[in-house]
Amino acid sequence: MTSSPDLSAESTWAATLLTPFRRESWRTYLYFVLISVLAVVGVVFLFGAGLASGLLLVTLVGIPLLALVVMSGRGWNHLHRSLARLTGATIDAPPRFKRPAGRLQTIVAALTDVVGWRSLGYLTLQAVLMTPIGYWVIVGLAVSVVLMASPVIWLAMGEPFVTLGQPVDSLGAYLLLAVGGAVALYAIGWLMLGISRAHIWLTRTLLGPTERERRVVELERARAGVVDDSAATLQRVERDLHDGTQARLISVAMTLARADEHLASADVARGRELVSDALANTKDTLTELRDLVRGIRPPALDLGLGAAIETLAARNPVPVEVHVDLVVRPSIGVETMAYFCVAELLTNVSRHANASQAVVRVTGDANELRITVSDNGSGGVQMGKGSGLTGLRDRLAMLDGRLQIHSPEGGPTVVTVVVPPGDGQ
């Protein structure tokens, strides 16, 4: 049974009309009041700091003071970004200040700190805009509350206290004023919500990292992740070689030495037995080496990405349908990354999805390589829930790639990887 479109539209309108009374709206009202108060504080701070810096700029004290004022912009930046959380908004932090060695170099770096100057510019704009806006909205808020309470106040005082050309001395008039105050208060609620949203947009634009800064942070994070992964891989290879392969080769050498002694003493049967043991141990060692090499670069990629993915699909416990359409073969690095992406995603399907069917689609041209892994499982896949997708996203960022997830509860799950193909092979 489905609800009619009219009932759905009515419920939507009712929810919209009740927006000013919701709990999150009250937090937004608090945010509006706080930024209005901070606008006045900002005016006082800018006036005092500007005056002091200007008067002392001709002295040796003025330059470090100006540097301190610029750095204080980062404090204002942090404060306003923290307040934005009251509305449910999350604003990324700008890059940290990198303090160089030496006092003179630190002062120069502070004076040229782009984030500090941008934050002071935001503080100036916030003070200029929100001081009058906040004042008149709060005054209107107070007047509306007084008008709503005017019948009670008139009855308590016993004399008129509102004048509209002439004193208002009628309960009916005060009731009308109360209705008008309620309507005005409702409208002011919407006004505060709208101004707060615009203010959040301004805060995110001026206080958050720029696209270039965000890109630098992403690359630094991705580089750190790649370095850690490389170190972990080298550590694993070294440990496996030392504890596994090296130990087996030593055992083979010792066994062959014993076999040589037995053959020299004409104990051919025992010598042949030892040689046979050494041969079996050698085969096990070769298997371990193949496993180590497979973790670095899969041999299946020598035949191309399509053949390698089909090999992965054949090994997966969940039936996988593979479609590959590559106009240009990706570079070796991108191809290897794409292989491990598909391997990670198919592992997630077999372990967590409760799926009976999966589909891998790989398309690529000179502009991008796109990989889509979908399944008919239970859905609900989220980043950072133990699925390994966070690390996958960070490694893709190193190659200017991106990871997109669409996985509603109940499924289906569709994970899309898009990455530049690099210089083709």
- Of 279, 278, 286, whose CA–CA distance to 244 is shortest? 286
Determine the pLDDT at residue 222. 62
More confident residue, 52 or 251: 52
Determine the pLDDT at residue 401. 82
Average pLDDT value over all residues in the chain: 80
Please give the average per-residue pLDDT across 366-370, as a whole number: 84
Determine the pLDDT at residue 3. 47
Give the tens place of pLDDT for each residue, 52-93.
887 777 677 778 888 888 899 899 999 999 999 998 888 888
Q: CA 177, CA 147: separation in Å to the nearest integer?
A: 6
Distance of CA 417 to the CA centre of its chain: 16
Considering only 33-37, 53-57, 146-150, 370-374, which range has the smallest mean pLDDT? 53-57
Res. 2: pLDDT tops 50: no
Determine the pLDDT at residue 241. 61
Please give the average per-residue pLDDT across 374-387, as a whole number: 75
The H or E element containing residue 418 is strand 413-419
More confident residue, 218 or 134: 134
Give the tens place of pLDDT for each residue, 10-23.
667 777 788 888 88
Report the b/e string of 254-264 with b at 16+ CB within 10 A.
ebbebbeebee
Res. 368: pLDDT tops 50: yes
Look at strands 358-364 and 320-326 and give their pairing: parallel
Q: CA 203, CA 122: separation in Å to the nearest integer?
A: 8
According to DSSP, the residues that pair with 362 across neighbouring strands are 324, 371
Please give the average per-residue pLDDT across 32-39, as a whole number: 92
Determine the pLDDT at residue 36. 92
More confident residue, 210 or 181: 181
Give the tens place of pLDDT for each residue, 101-115.
778 888 888 888 888
Q: Which two tokens stand for residue 312?
A: 């992965």
Determine the pLDDT at residue 139. 92
Give the CA distances from residue 24 to residues 20, 89, 364, in Å, rounded to whole numbers and listed in that order. Answer: 9, 11, 45
Q: Which residue stretches of 85-170 are H helix?
A: 103-111, 114-148, 150-157
Residue that has been written with the tokens 């399509």 in this structure: 306
Determine the pLDDT at residue 266. 65
Considering only 26-35, 209-218, 228-237, 390-399, which range has the smallest mean pLDDT? 228-237
Q: Name the DSSP letter for residue 322.
A: E
Q: CA 145, CA 161: separation in Å to the nearest integer?
A: 15
Considering only 74-83, 145-154, 182-191, 415-424, which range has the smallest mean pLDDT? 415-424
Res. 304: pLDDT tops 70: yes
Please give the average per-residue pLDDT across 315-333, as a whole number: 84
Considering only 173-187, 213-227, 372-386, which range has the smallest mean pLDDT? 213-227
Res. 360: pLDDT tops 80: yes
Please give the average per-residue pLDDT across 116-140, as a whole number: 91
Determine the pLDDT at residue 39. 92
Determine the pLDDT at residue 83. 92
Determine the pLDDT at residue 152. 85
Q: Which two tokens stand for residue 16?
A: 């919209």
Determine the pLDDT at residue 197. 92
Give the tens place of pLDDT for each residue, 163-203.
777 777 778 888 888 898 899 999 999 999 999 999 999 99
CB 28 within 8 Å of CB 192: yes
With the C-alpha atoms ordered 167, 172, 175, 177, is the resulting torsion angle positive or negative?
negative
**Which of 218-222, 228-232, 248-252, 323-327 has the largest mean confidence?**
323-327
